[in-house]
Structure 1
Amino acid sequence: MTKEMKRPISNITQDSIKPLLSNAVEFYTNKNREAHKCIQERDEYINYLESKLSNAKPQQSLPVVPEFVADYISELKEKGHGIQFGLMCSTHNAAGEGNEKAIHWKDDNAEDFARAWLDGYQVEKPQLFYIALPKVYGLSDSTFVSKAESGIISEFTKGKDYALKLTEQEIKSIDERYWQFAVPVEDGE
């Protein structure tokens, strides 16, 4: 039983395809226009938001606290005193003895302490100094301390490049008399 096969008749001609192709091109062109319009609207909205942000009130910078206050805040948070913030803003010493300096700073700077506790903080960089020794026999005009060990100055340098940069406390721990020769380190040195 073989079935007789006939050649299919094609009704598709060039003239019958043209309107369909034209519709497809028009459809995709319209979708492309819509997408372009959406991108333009998005860009306009982004520009609007950026202008609102640039005109907004500038965000306050983090408070600057001395290192001993930063240590105090860390110690309190480690001990779980975060919930007891109200107590911390009082004169109560929740962290124990030995933090009197931090407590006094907190009492004198309550707003900065509260902001530091809640928002975070920047640790104050201590002022650094060179020890510039006076011109005496055997020393040139610009002689700086370059090495000190166990409270004894053991090396000198002629320029600031290799000179020690020390805090006031570090200089005074070598010998209080050296404080009179302290020269502040400038920014960028």
Structure 2
Amino acid sequence: MNKEQLIEKLEYRRKTFEHVFPTKHAYSIAIELAEQLDEPQEQPKIVAPKEFDEWYQEIKEKYSRPGSARRFALWKLSQKGFGRHFENANHEEVDYESKLGVWVRKNQELAIDAIFYGYEVEEPLYRVKIPMFEWNEESAESAELKTAFVYLIHNVTSDETRISYDGNAFGNWKIKLTESQIKTIDERFWAFAVPVEE
């Protein structure tokens, strides 16, 4: 039921109770309040790790009847912590220290909201670590080639890309990039992408 339908129903009932002043007055107040209602605002998408998505997809595969996967997932999320461990679709305990277990433990309400309102899967982050060859001049007798690494940094505001010799990000410059960001800059950089360790 939307706001207009609610107001129509309240006005109909107010007319029905026209002869009873307190009831008519109560409906007038209800209509006045209903007119002040804001339209529901869209809930921002929740970003969940890929392990959470895999857990929920497994539930969807096992419980394919309409609405049953959602109810099962909400049941599993809400029973956690009441003498029960967090479980997967097969009622097997999820490791407490796994990435999924830690995330759900720290974000139980967020996980429930993700099931209710939808979510986006968190993209893993990478550093682009490019080898650079230079002469080792420390050794006077024999100059040898050594490998050093430089890192790609990207300015999220100006969309510029530069090389960083120390691997540090600053200001609007980011060193941790998603796969899509790296490939947008230049697909050839993807060959040098290294997952960011947390």
**TM-score bucket (shorter structure):** 0.3 to 0.5
The structure that has the greater radius of gyration is 1
Q: In proportion to residue count, which structure has more helix?
A: 1
Q: TM-score scaled by structure 2?
A: 0.41
Per the normalisation by structure 1, the TM-score is 0.42
